[in-house]
Amino acid sequence: MRTLLVLYLCAYAAWASDDLEYDDYGSVSVPQNHCQLGARGHRPVLKGRETYHHNRRVPAPIKDSSNKYHSRPATGREEKPTRPEAVEQLDLGGCTHASQEMGLLCPNGCELKTTLLKQERNVRMTISQLKPEVRDLSRSSNTIHDRVSSMSQSLRERQRVTDENSRVVTQYTNQVEEQHAYIKETVDTIFPSNIRVLQGVLDNIRSKIEKLEKAIAAQTVDCREPCTTKCPIPVVSGKECEDVYRRGGKDSQMYLIQPDQSTLPFKVFCDQTGHSGGWLLIQSRLDGSVDFGRRWDDYRRGFGNIAFRTQKGYCETPGEYWLGVDRISQLTKMGPTEVLIEMQDWTGDKVHAKYRHFTVQSEQTNYVLAVEGYSGNAGNCFLDGSLELFGENRTMTIHNGMMFSTYDRDNDNWTPGDPSKQCSKEDGGGWWYNRCHSANPNGRYYIGGSYTKQMAKHGTDDGVVWMNWKGSWYSLKAISMKIKPYFISR
């Protein structure tokens, strides 16, 4: 029996291990010769895991019509049965009884009837004589009763008025006593307390006025000389950095651009020296000074520090920032656009990836990404996915065609609708996640390069990753994304 129980437990454990989800990778140890790397680069692929879904469909609501009721037919009235009339039967002999219900008297009872009728006449005469006296007595009794009732009503009314007056006097006395107690408490306690509070407020206002006077005096001293701009904007501007370059702005620094006359101009950093210039910086990671774990609205509008001022008098050093996926979409939809992704590791080595065509659709599509035409030496993560994976696991890491996702707006392909399976929440930033990534430029910044799943917040490869160059568990020192209009150079 014990042997059978042990065999059953072993079989159950083997069955349970086949149903592990991605979040359970740390609970089971699988030999390397029995599994291959999972889509996240560190999760084993086991039988029974959830399948890869592409489409999301919403069923149509069910419509139904309501029933209609009709009125019921009216019923007729029921007639009451009539009582049959009494029919006197005189042919039975004798004379009619004084009460008809008793029928007819026998012939020898007629004399008794005659005697009773005579007595009835005498009684009626006596009653007729007594009726006037009875009526007089009844009128006298009614008059006395009315007078007694009137006196009782008057006594009750006088008693009610007396009781009401007594209640009013008592109520008025209680109100006077309550008002007296309230006035005494107000004069003795509340007024002094309020005076102290008002005195404190007055002292606080006086202190603020003194601080404002000092600040105004300091501003007056500082403004004796003309103010200088911390980060002056060059006079030259254009629709984007290539337009700025052709208008004479050939120094790499911060510029003001206006892609469309219907929108307000905004600041960007233009790289006018590398790769023939004209590059507009849309993303920059340098030192981890800016938190990229942000909401949808932040990624839509943009955040971070565009540039810093150095010795030359203008802002020639780029900072860490994300331009904003809404502006990126606006710029890439103006025409054919190419993108340049430059990256550097912690030893100083540099590589790049370049895509000849790069387009980000509008917010109505959740900013779908479309790229093609790869060149460079960093590895084609956007189109090929992670080269260390194979088959379906590799296709899960392709970014082309994906929607943009943040931790509060889940648009990835990893079990849609399940908050426990959400790429952006695990991988540290907003990005065009699939399930989940081969590139993660907006991930968490780890100093030194190599990191482990024990260091990661959720145990996932959430660093600044480009898997086809350094793998899943190496976070880059610097990475940037730059765009400019695509044209064939002569």
Tell me the pLDDT tens digit for each residue of 48-86: 444 545 444 333 232 344 433 244 344 444 445 555 444
Q: In the structure, what pLDDT confidence band is assigned to residue 4 with cuts at 50, 70 and 90?
A: low
Q: Is the pLDDT of residue 47 over 50?
A: no
Q: Is the pLDDT of residue 137 over 60?
A: yes
Q: In the structure, what pLDDT confidence band is assigned to residue 216 with cuts at 50, 70 and 90?
A: confident
Q: In the structure, what pLDDT confidence band is assigned to residue 248 with cuts at 50, 70 and 90?
A: very high
> Dihedral of the CA atoms 411, 414, 419, 421 (nearest 10)?
-140
Smallest CA-to-CA distance from 288 within 463, 405, 437 is with: 463
Smallest CA-to-CA distance from 249 within 331, 189, 200, 316 is with: 316
Q: In the structure, what pLDDT confidence band is assigned to residue 359 with cuts at 50, 70 and 90?
A: very high
Smallest CA-to-CA distance from 235 within 260, 259, 256 is with: 256
CA distance readout (Å), 289 to 254, 285, 320, 445: 19, 9, 7, 9
Backbone angles phi, psi at 19, to 5 degrees: -100, 15
Q: In the structure, what pLDDT confidence band is assigned to residue 28 with cuts at 50, 70 and 90?
A: very low
Q: What is the pTM of this model?
A: 0.57
Q: Is residue 305 part of a domain?
A: yes
Q: Is the pLDDT of residue 8 over 60?
A: no
Q: Is the pLDDT of residue 281 over 70?
A: yes
**For the ranges 61-75, 129-143, 164-178, 318-332, which has the lowest average pLDDT?**
61-75
Question: What pLDDT shows up at residue 49?
Answer: 47
User: For the chain, first and last CA: distance in Å?
Assistant: 84
404 vs 129, higher pLDDT: 404
Range picked from 120-124, 148-152, 222-226, 460-464 for highest mean pLDDT: 460-464
Q: Is the pLDDT of residue 114 over 50?
A: yes
Question: What is the 8-class DSSP label of residue 27?
Answer: G
Question: What pLDDT shows up at residue 371?
Answer: 94
Cα 179 to Cα 177: distance, rounded to the nearest angstrom: 6
pLDDT digits (tens, 9 = 90+) for 424-472: 998 989 999 998 999 999 999 999 999 998 998 888 899 999 999 999 9
Number of compact structural domains in the chain: 2
Question: What pLDDT shows up at residue 57?
Answer: 38
Question: What pLDDT shows up at residue 43?
Answer: 44
Cα 139 to Cα 133: distance, rounded to the nearest angstrom: 10
Question: What pLDDT shows up at residue 378?
Answer: 95
Q: In the structure, what pLDDT confidence band is assigned to residue 315 with cuts at 50, 70 and 90?
A: confident
Question: What pLDDT shows up at residue 284?
Answer: 96
Range of the domain at 20: 2-34
Cα 249 to Cα 238: distance, rounded to the nearest angstrom: 9
Q: Is residue 192 part of a domain?
A: no
User: What is the number of other CB atoms lying within 10 angstroms of the CB of residue 241?
Assistant: 27
Rounded to an integer, what is the distance from CA 256 to the centroid of its chain? Answer: 37
Cα 186 to Cα 374: distance, rounded to the nearest angstrom: 84
Q: Is residue 132 part of a domain?
A: no
DSSP string, 91-141: GGSS-B-SSGGG-B--GGGHHHHHHHHHHHHHHHHHHHHHHHHHHHHHHHH
375 beta partners: 354
352 beta partners: 342
Average pLDDT score over the chain: 79
Question: What pLDDT shows up at residue 104?
Answer: 59
Q: What is the CATH number of the domain that holds 320?
A: 3.90.215.10
Q: In the structure, what pLDDT confidence band is assigned to residue 375 with cuts at 50, 70 and 90?
A: very high
Cα 159 to Cα 156: distance, rounded to the nearest angstrom: 5
**For the ranges 121-130, 330-339, 397-406, 459-468, which has the lowest average pLDDT?**
121-130
Percent of the chain with pLDDT over 90: 41
Residue matched to tokens 């004589």: 129
Question: What pLDDT shows up at residue 484?
Answer: 93
- State which amino acid sits at residue 414: W
